[in-house]
Amino acid sequence: MDAVKDRALQLIRVVGPKRLSEKGGKNYDRWRNISSNKIRIGTEEVGILAEAFPEYALWLVSGRIEPENGHRSPEYDEANSNLTNQNAG
């Protein structure tokens, strides 16, 4: 579960506690405390993350991505956006 926890924390830090609390399913303080490792993330929060960000669900629970099927990771999205923002001339 440590790998799942690490990916969940990564996603929480990318998305931010405020946005997660706006999506529902826990308050801001809970997400902030999870993101700063003050409290442990539970399966309920992992489920909320997977539901709120279905494009990251496969990566979240398995570490795998399948971009051709719409299953990505935050790192993949960032790298892909950097490629599309490059100016060739």
What pLDDT score does 88 carry? 52
- 6-11-16 Cα angle (round to 5): 125
- Give the rounded percent of residues in the chain with a pLDDT score beyond 70: 92
* pLDDT bracket for residue 1 (50, 70, 90): low
Q: Taking the model in full, what pTM does it have? A: 0.85
The C-alpha atoms of residue 15 and residue 35 are separated, in whole angstroms, by 10
Mean pLDDT of 18-25: 85
What pLDDT score does 87 carry? 64
Between 85 and 80, name the one with better pLDDT: 80
- The phi, psi pair for 66, rounded to 5°, reads -140, 75
What pLDDT score does 47 carry? 93
